Amino acid sequence: MSTVAFDVGAVRARFSALNTPTAFLDGPGGTQVPDSVIEAMATCLREANANLGGPFETSRRADAVVGEAHEAAARLLAASREEVGFGQNMTTLNFALTRALGRELEAGDEIVVTRLDHDGNVAPWLELARDLDLVVRFADLNEEDCTVDVDDLQRQLCGRTRVVAFPWASNAVGSISPVRRIAELAHDAGALAWVDAVHYAPHGPIDVAAVDVDILICSPYKFFGPHLGLFFARREVVERWRPYKVRPSADEPVAHRFETGTLSHESLAGFTAAVEYLESLGWEAIQAHERELGQRFLDGLPVPYRLYGVPSMEGRVPTFAFTHPDRPPEELAALLGERDIATWPGNYYAVEVMERLGLPDGTLRLGFVHYNTRDEVDRVLAALQDLA
């Protein structure tokens, strides 16, 4: 048992959105935001609503908002500010980055993706392959615990492999991938390690150098911020790429070349506040609380529900996918919704996972983040027991 103190009541007091009967167990689809994020966005719109580079005070404030967001992103990902950038969302960024890389690829080059991925890290590669006559190979998952089959991934690698794209954590079943090991395999094959960290980012620290990835993409609205996309791009990899951009935009800093058009400055202000919020809590306390909630759920999930994924809190985040033998996921979600319990049915855009597991209707997914409580765990367990 962790000795790290965590006052969930004090945490929840920082979220006006949580002052409701609803138990928000829909965090895997997007989290609530603390009031500090809302206020930062409003302040930006009130005081810094101008475009960048102007010779007047409001524009200088906008410059500061953008600069502070890049600094916060660098802290969050343990990267340099020249290697981080923003966009509309993870999927849009991934289409843009894959297209830029595509200018270096040749017909017959190969991309490896996994059956565990969200389609945001599959479809861009399939579309690029269709345009450039590339080959996309799928690394399988281990059916018993829904983890990446690393041995099968290694078998997919060859001298034509240019990218290995994979999730840090599954948005469907919560499994955590061995990021450093997969990155090593990719680099040994002469390929880029391209990681989707959308689902891991709310649950743990990220250090891009420690895991040695080349591209990492995530979404602040999954970790208590506004709707936005964030990426890391290793300088020595992307400085040779030619991004799709307008001619007057600067080529330095190198990652910022991919920030096309005018960004949502208010969202960047909210992002900075979200990072500061996480820093005020610390990952050790967050993770200890989430592990406790997750284990409490695992210990109490009643028969006859079937869980998919790792059966303990080792090697997973507190996101859970399960089915009932007689009630489809949509029915379960609707019945829980009537009890003010927010969950998601379906495939959550993780179409490969559900096809591989033979689940055409998907699963019911719920997830806990650090603002959830033991009482909310017990509440959903009681409701599932009633519906069993």
- Written as one string, the DSSP assignment of 247-274 is TTS---SGGGGG--S---HHHHHHHHHH
Mean predicted confidence (pLDDT) in 159-175 = 98
8-25+282-387 placed in CATH 3.30.70.260:
no
Query: Hey, what CATH topology would domain 39-277 get?
Result: Aspartate Aminotransferase; domain 2 (3.40.640)
Q: Tens of pLDDT along 231-243?
A: 999 999 999 999 8
Cα–Cα distance, 88 to 262 (Å, whole number): 11
Predicted confidence at residue 3, as pLDDT, reads 52
Q: Is the pTM of this model over 0.75?
A: yes
Predicted confidence at residue 301, as pLDDT, reads 98
Q: Tens of pLDDT along 99-157?
A: 999 999 999 999 999 999 999 999 999 999 999 999 999 999 999 999 999 999 999 99
Report CA 34 to chain centroid distance, whole Å: 18
Domain coordinates in residue numbering, the chain: 8-25+282-387, 39-277
Mean predicted confidence (pLDDT) in 358-379 = 98
Cα–Cα distance, 351 to 42 (Å, whole number): 37
